[in-house]
Amino acid sequence: MAKKREKNKEKGEIGAFILIRVLPHKERGIYEKLEKMKKVILVNELFGEWDIIIGVDISNAKELDTFVSEKIRKMKEIGLTSTMIVAR
């Protein structure tokens, strides 16, 4: 079941979903780390090509880039990400 935190999206924030591929047998630990991150509002483990999907509400595209590059991709257990910005 999805882990979801209620959050009031502030005016001007953008939403995004990030698909994450994790090294084998590291999914649970990464899930728990992601769940604790401030900008993350949704975390789900998946079956299939991707291991985890997260939802984020973030101030702007530059902050999204920094979040993905500096917080997500720097985790050594993460092999690949794909980010989708919400249109509406």
18, 50 contact by CB (below 8 A): no
- pTM score: 0.86
Does residue 28 register a pLDDT over 50?
yes
In the chain, domain spans: 12-85
CA angle 41, 71, 55 (to 5 degrees): 20
Thinking of the domain 12-85, which architecture would CATH place it in? 2-Layer Sandwich (3.30)
Distance, in Å, from the CA atom of 24 to the CA atom of 17, rounded to the nearest integer, reads 22
Share of the chain above pLDDT 70, in %: 88
41-69 confidence digits (pLDDT tens): 999 999 999 999 999 999 999 999 999 99
CB atoms within 10 A of CB 37: 14
- For residue 12, the model assigns a pLDDT of 74
Using CB atoms within 10 Å of the CB of residue 51, give its burial: 0 to 12 exposed, 13 to 18 middle, 19+ buried.
buried
